[in-house]
Amino acid sequence: MKKKKSTPPEPILCTLLNGPEKFDNHTVIFNLINILIATQDPIIPQYFKYLNYFSGLQYVLFCNRISEKRNKEIPLNQQHFILFYAMLHLTTQLYQSEKIKKLVHSLTTENHTQTFEEKKADLDIICNTALSELKKYYQKNNTLIIAMNKIDAYRISE
């Protein structure tokens, strides 16, 4: 029987803080995407196929880690970093889409127009700030720059 060699894990690029002040926003970001997956909306599979940096299973595993309240700090390797960056970028686009606004309203029993608009404004600031910070700090890693540019080029079709 052949002895298998273990592959070393990818190096950790940074640590994602997921404390109480950030946990709620991360939950909203990933839950919106999970809702789209559950409703079998073609946006998410198309996005994953376009990027081709991670699979649906890798997304689910990362989502489970970030959705666990006990994980106050999450070490990110290159793949996790790209996944997180991609979800932030997708979230900003989703909240600008009328289709998503209608979907969110159809899933709620009460009229949450004001709350949706408030959350949209909050997430726009949070996501755009995080995207620019991530891009600024990792501008010397060519693989990440290529991935971030590919992600930035993606636009949701209405």
Please, what is the average pLDDT of the chain?
A: 84
The pLDDT score that the predictor gives to residue 101 is: 76
- The pLDDT assigned to 1 comes to 59
Over residues 3-52, the pLDDT tens digits come to 767 666 678 888 888 888 888 889 888 988 898 888 888 888 899 999 99
Q: Which two tokens stand for residue 63?
A: 């989502």
**Alpha helices (H) in 39-112, listed in sequence order:** 43-51, 56-67, 78-96, 98-107
Contact 98, 157 (CB under 8 A): no
Closest CA to 97 of 154, 24, 40: 154
Q: Provide Rg for the chain, Cα atoms.
A: 17
- Cβ atoms of 81 and 133 closer than 8 Å: no
| Residue 116 reports pLDDT greater than 80 | no
Instruction: Determine the Cα–Cα distance for residues 28 and 102; give it in Å rounded to an integer.
Output: 17
